[in-house]
Amino acid sequence: MKYKPTWDLRTIPDSEFNSEAARRRSSRGGGRPKVMKTCDKCGAVMSAREMRAHKCTTKAQSAELDSRVAQYQQNPEDVIPWERLKEALSNKKQKGGQ
Ligand SMILES: [Zn+2]
């Protein structure tokens, strides 16, 4: 028995109903429909799976990161080389600093 739009929905046998439901699900990509959620921090809308992978920064954190990148791009030479920083930190640690 193949579904016809003229069927009375209340009398469709479960087997026909389920196979038609499965056909419609698979025609739009299959599976359960995505439940979209809104990130509390940034307001981005995404599926639960995307939300689990979402590494969010607050607006303040994003602004701080953007300003640091801008500072670096304006003056890329104004940096502390890793070796010098490492040495400074190790000296501080030996002197009992924080
Ligand atoms: Zn977010």
CA–centroid distance, 57 to ligand 1, in Å, is 6
Cα within 13 Å of Cα(5), Cβ side: 0
- Rounded distance between C-alpha atoms, residue 84 and residue 81, angstroms: 5
CA–centroid distance, 28 to ligand 1, in Å, is 28
If one compares 83 and 5, the residue with the highest pLDDT of the two is: 83
22 and 42 share a domain? no
Judge whether 14 lies within some domain.
Answer: yes
- Rounded distance between C-alpha atoms, residue 87 and residue 97, angstroms: 14
Q: Provide the pLDDT for residue 43.
A: 86
68 and 40 share a domain? yes
CA–centroid distance, 31 to ligand 1, in Å, is 25
- Rounded distance between C-alpha atoms, residue 24 and residue 75, angstroms: 57
Per residue in 11-68, pLDDT (tens digit) is: 888 888 888 888 888 887 777 778 899 998 888 899 988 999 998 887 788 889 999 9
Which residue in 49, 18, 21 sits closest to 34, CA to CA? 49
Domain holding 59, by residue range, is 34-75
- Rounded distance between C-alpha atoms, residue 58 and residue 40, angstroms: 9
